[in-house]
Structures are given as C-alpha cells and as structure tokens.
Amino acid sequence: MKTIYDLILTAFLSISLLTIANSQNIVLKQSNESGIYKNGQRIRVTLFLNDHSTDSVLVKIRRNHSDQASEQRLRFNGDTLLIFNETFNAPSSVIFEASTKTGTASIGSIVDPEKFKPGTSRPKDFDQFWNNEKKALRALPIEVKKVPVKENGNGSRYECFDMEINATSPKPARGYFAKPAKAELRSLPIVLLVHAAGVKGSWCRSEPANALRYAKMGNGTLCFDLNAHGMLNGQPEEYYTNLENGELKNYYIQGLESRNDVYFKGMYLRLIRTLDFLTSQPEWDGKRILVIGESQGGGQALVAAGLDKRVSAVVATVPAMCDWGGTLVGRKGGWPQPFETKGNTTKMKAALPYFDAAHILKGSKATILAEVGLIDVTCPSTSVYAAINQAKGKKIIFAVPYRPHHAPSNYQKEVWEKTVNIHREDFISDYLK
C-alpha cells in the first residue's frame, strides 16, 4: 500500500500548480495555492481579469462558512488586484468569490485544519447508547430475502441479488448484493456502497450495475450497494416520487429533538445490519472492509468506521453529517445543518450528538481517504475536519481549494480528474487487489 500512499501525497502537492480559479476570465491566486495555512501565516489573495473590457468586479469574502459575506465592488484597471491580506490566530476558513457580468470564480483557504474540534460535547453515555442499540439489533435473528438478478455479459461468473435484511430500524436494509459465483473461502474483501442525499434521484438508488462493478474489481469482492432509506429496489418512478413527497419529505430533519426519533438512527442501524450480513459470508477474508460514499454517503462511510471497528478503510467524498454543532460555535455545521432549523435547541443538543459523525468517528483506526471542498457550503471543510480529526487511523486528505459540493465542472473538471479523482480510484483498486 505504501506506493499508492506516496502517489496520492505527490498528487496532493501538485494540486497547487493547477488550482487557480473556475472561470476562464477571472484568475484568483492565493499565497499558498494548496489553500492550507498555519496559525499566523499570511493569506494573500490576488485577482486578475483576462477580459480587460470588464471595468469592475464584485468580490465576496465569507469567513467560517458564514451565511453573511462581506462585499466590495472593485474597479479593474488592468493590473492585478490584492483583495485579501490577513493572518488568523485560530482555526478558520475563508471563501473568496469574484464575479463579473461574464463569470464567477471561487477559491477557499483553511487555517490549522487539524485543530478543529466538534462544536458539541460527546455525551457521557454515548458508547453505552450505541452498544445497547447494537445489542438489540444483534439479538434479532437475521432474516434475509433475496431475489436473483440476471447478470449480463459474464455468463455465470458472478451472482447478483435484490436484497432485504430485517433490522430494528423502521425499515429493513435493502439494496443489491453481488459477488463472484465460485470464490474460495476467506478470499474476498467487502465493499459497502452508500448513497448521497435524496430519494428519487439516480444518485440515491441502489443499482445492480453498481454492485457488479465492484464485485468484479481485483480478484473479486463481496459488494453491497445499500440504499439509504430501506426503499424497495427497481420500482416505477411513481414509487420514489411518492416517497419523496410523502413519508421521506425532508427526512433529514425528522425527529431532531429526541435521540429515539432522529431519522439517521435508522439509517445507521441499517449500516450495521448490512455489515453484519456481509461479515457472515464465508468468502470474506476476515480483514478488509471498504466503505465508499459521497456527501450523505460520505457521512455514512465515516459513521460505519466509527460504529463498527471491523471497517478497515473508508473513502469519503465531501462527507455530510459532520460536526452539526459547528453552528453553535460560530461556524457552519455539516449538512443538513439541523441546528439551523426552528426546533428546540436545548432538546436538539441533547439528542443530535449521538448521530454526529464528529463524535461517532472518535478513536476509529480505519484508514480514511477524504476529499474536502474548500468552497463547499453544503458540507463545509471545517465540519469535515472536525470529524476526521477525531479518528486515530491513517488519513489521506485531498483539500481542494476550487471544489464546491458537486464535482468541479468546465475546464477544472479535467484538473480534478488528474489530480484527485484518478488517485481516489487508484486507492480503491489497490486496496482491493
């Protein structure tokens, strides 16, 4: 594994040569192009416009992902403009956005990221709470319903199933499970795929193709593509639309005032149940469990590493559900920002820390590969660092100054593919060999 770690770290350092702006007209540069600074180190940001016919530019500066941004309109006279020149004496983040009539560009900076801490306290009975939940879950005998899914293009080399696994959560765990048909005992790693937020979007649903893709990697894997909500698989579009407009409408802010009612409790229990099923498979090698997810899926991946010590590695891209309490200490919390709702703050402070990845991840020894967007306002960089700082295992962190919540677009997508995504894929491939 050392080779791939070295490759990734080299790629991380090379990002600085390529992360300037996301508009061909607007060029934003910072004194440390990695976007990462130490306490007291000066952040110097300059702006240049390639289109000299533009005579002004609106600059917005947002500190600690605040919803309030300072604004100034600057006149452009053809020379490079200095728009920021400050130091910070505490862990902080800054996002710089420049816009003209023809485009917008943003870059982000973060100061002392390894020093961010959760904005709420970890409950004293945190471990007891989750131990009791897992004990109750495992006291319920596993019942599995599976329907074979025809595998195209590889004859009988792989098997795929539409799965349902009972659980103590309101809904069972559902998804697609794929594996090589004739694997030897104790020969395969586990891959658990978890999904981003939403209900009816294609990115929210489990698909046989997802499970089969990973089942075919390396020498084969046991791959489970788990949907987040216990939804039925492969249903007509109307089914998912009705869920999104009905029982799963705004699911992410349901039950915020009671630890027994928080929606994410059921989601996390389904994670554990699925891992229990996968580790019971005779083909599992007994060592490798890799959990992969983006956004809400990235948050689930971190949660899996915190709640199940068997998880050996995680790939978490712009993860959600991190440091919800950041909202309470002067910075923006991670998605879905529950403390920004109209609920009873006192009750939420008593309930939500049990489901915050920043507390769940504490002490995890899993290897974590995380991508952090320094201009991400949905899953702020500060919230992600507050969570992963609690883990004790190896960390490979791509802090990307030009990354919003969604993958970069336009010409920056090619840069991202070459400096970040390709090495994420290399890590996965190498881990599953």
Per-residue pLDDT tens digits for 281-315: 999 999 999 999 999 999 999 999 999 999 999 99
Residues 107 and 132 in one domain: no
Percent of the chain residues past pLDDT 90, beyond the cut: 87
Torsion of CA 332, 337, 341, 344, to 10 degrees: -90
Alpha-carbon torsion (177, 180, 182, 186), positive or negative: negative
What is the total count of domains within the chain?
2
| 426 part of a folded domain | no
- Compute the distance between CA of residue 424 and CA of residue 432 in angstroms, rounded to an integer: 13
Average pLDDT, the chain: 93
Identify the pLDDT of residue 55.
78
pTM for the complete prediction? 0.94
Residues 71 and 193 in one domain: no
Element (H, E) at 148: strand 144-148
Alpha-carbon torsion (85, 113, 338, 407), positive or negative: positive
Residue 204, SS3 per DSSP: helix
Residues 374 and 263 in one domain: yes
| 15 part of a folded domain | no
Q: How do the residues of the chain divide into helix, strand and coil, expressed in percent and rounded to 5?
A: 30, 25, 40
Q: What does the pLDDT look like over 318-355, one tens digit per residue?
A: 999 999 999 999 999 999 999 999 999 999 999 999 99
**What mean pLDDT is predicted for residues 110-131?**
98
Residue 357, SS3 per DSSP: helix
pLDDT band at 2 (very low <50, low <70, confident <90, very high): very low
Identify the pLDDT of residue 245.
98
Residues 106 and 131 in one domain: no
Q: What does the pLDDT look like over 417-429, one tens digit per residue?
A: 999 999 999 999 9
| 216 part of a folded domain | yes
Cβ atoms of 222 and 215 within 8 Å: the answer is: yes
Residues 286 and 331 in one domain: yes
CATH number of the CATH domain containing 231: 3.40.50.1820
pLDDT band at 412 (very low <50, low <70, confident <90, very high): confident
**Residue at a domain's end among 91, 113, 135:** 113
**Residue at a domain's end among 66, 83, 113:** 113
Residues 368 and 222 in one domain: yes
Residues 58 and 32 in one domain: yes
**What mean pLDDT is predicted for residues 43-47?**
98
pLDDT band at 153 (very low <50, low <70, confident <90, very high): low
Phi, psi of 107 (to 5 degrees): -140, 160
Residues 239 and 367 in one domain: yes
Residues 51 and 175 in one domain: no
Identify the pLDDT of residue 23.
59
**What mean pLDDT is predicted for residues 264-293?**
98
Residues 238 and 268 in one domain: yes
Q: Is the pLDDT of residue 155 over 70?
A: no
Q: Is the pLDDT of residue 53 over 80?
A: no
Nearest Cα to 384, choosing from 310, 313, 323?
323
Q: Is the pLDDT of residue 151 over 70?
A: no
Q: Is the pLDDT of residue 10 over 50?
A: no
Residue partners of 110: CB distance under 8 A and separation at least 6: 35, 36, 37, 92, 93, 94, 374, 381, 382, 385, 399
Strand order across the 103-111 sheet: 36-37, 103-111, 92-100, 56-63, 70-75
Identify the pLDDT of residue 66.
84
The residue count for the chain: 433
Report the DSSP pairing between strands 367-373 and 395-400: parallel
| 5 part of a folded domain | no
Residues 57 and 166 in one domain: no
- Compute the distance between CA of residue 64 and CA of residue 377 in angstroms, rounded to an integer: 10
Taking CA atoms, 239 is separated from 155, 164, 219, in Å, by 32, 17, 37
Identify the pLDDT of residue 102.
85
Q: Is the pLDDT of residue 14 over 80?
A: no
**What mean pLDDT is predicted for residues 265-283?**
98
| 104 part of a folded domain | yes
Q: Is the pLDDT of residue 11 over 60?
A: no
Q: Could you list the residue range(s) of the whole structural domain that residue 86 is in?
A: 20-113
| 146 part of a folded domain | yes
Residues 232 and 141 in one domain: yes
| 100 part of a folded domain | yes
pLDDT band at 208 (very low <50, low <70, confident <90, very high): very high
Residue partners of 202: CB distance under 8 A and separation at least 6: none
Element (H, E) at 99: strand 92-100
| 14 part of a folded domain | no
Q: Is the pLDDT of residue 1 over 90?
A: no
CATH number of the CATH domain containing 45: 2.60.40.1930
**What mean pLDDT is predicted for residues 95-101?**
95
Strand order across the 173-180 sheet: 144-148, 158-165, 173-180, 222-226, 188-194, 284-294, 313-317, 367-373, 395-400
**Residue at a domain's end among 90, 113, 136:** 113
pLDDT band at 51 (very low <50, low <70, confident <90, very high): confident
